[in-house]
Amino acid sequence: MGFYGMLCVNCMRILIAEDDIMLGRSLKKGVEAAGYNVELVEDGEAALLASTTDDFALLILDMNLPKLPGIGVLKNLRTQGKKIPVLILTARSEVENRIEGLDSGADDYMVKPFDLSELLARIRALVRRSRGRAEEKISVGGIEVDIAAKMVRKKNEMVVLPAKEFKLLSLLAQNMGKIIGKTEIENNIYDLNERFESNTVEVIVYNLRRKFGKNLIKTARGSGYVIEK
């Protein structure tokens, strides 16, 4: 499976449909490095089959696919009532192409060439939106995490957290019961172009346990961290 695959064993699955082999493999590697489990297909028929018969959190869809163009894949999915979030990647930058994609049921649109960091941010936003959690208040372990207001309450008292502590806590709360690897955590808590510190995640977990109890966040050795259901 390799290093990148091992990071994704317990992560959400993303389908990439891209017929440019070099770009597709590079994109797959980059998205997997962010902690996702990725499947790559190279034509529209394979994309439609995979997205209708398997469970994916997101479809990244190129428009110029062989056998069945991306717009055909998209229209088929929406006609069948499939609600999988779709992010279009295309070299077509004309406004009418974007309008066609969005009107056909796409959730977001990026023009090639693109920045991987921006793509990952859009992936996170689409997944959050599709799960209906962007404005949720999540109760866990005696605390309430208000995702929209970026606040935490403990026994009805507000606890002010530094930005990275809130990001990590909300990430685990929104994925309760699922182990989140260190790489995915780092990609969620760091801003673009910010340098990673090797022990930042461990320090943040320690601080959160000190504030909310040592049993709130569990360590899955060699895999990551989890807030149990």
What's the pLDDT score for residue 134?
A: 46
137-226: CATH topology is Arc Repressor Mutant, subunit A (1.10.10)
Give the residue, 53 or 136, on which the prediction is more confident.
53
Mean of the pLDDT values across residues 113-132? 81
Q: Residue 226 and residue 16: Cα distance in Å, rounded?
A: 27
Question: Which residues, including other chains, have CB under 8 Å from residue 164's CB and lie 6 or more apart?
Answer: 189, 190, 200, 204
What's the pLDDT score for residue 27?
A: 92
Q: Residue 223 and residue 9: Cα distance in Å, rounded?
A: 9
pTM value > 0.75:
no
pLDDT tens-digit readout, 2-42? 333 333 334 578 999 999 999 999 999 999 888 888 999 99
CA dihedral for 136, 131, 9, 29, sign (positive or negative): negative
**Residue pair 44/76 in contact by the 8 Å Cβ criterion:** no
Give me the CATH code for the 2-130 domain, please. Answer: 3.40.50.2300
Indicate if the pLDDT at residue 69 is higher than 90: yes
What's the pLDDT score for residue 93?
A: 67
pLDDT over 90 percentage in the chain: 35
What's the pLDDT score for residue 3?
A: 35
**Cβ neighbours, 10 Å, residue 32:** 22
**Residue pair 4/33 in contact by the 8 Å Cβ criterion:** yes
Calculate ∠ Cα 121-87-128, nearest 5°: 50
Indicate if the pLDDT at residue 194 is higher than 70: no
pLDDT tens-digit readout, 123-166? 888 887 776 554 567 888 889 988 767 789 998 888 889 989 99
**Domain ranges (residues) in the chain:** 2-130, 137-226
Average per-residue pLDDT in the chain?
A: 83
- Report the relative pairing of strands 137-140 and 108-111 from DSSP bridges: unpaired
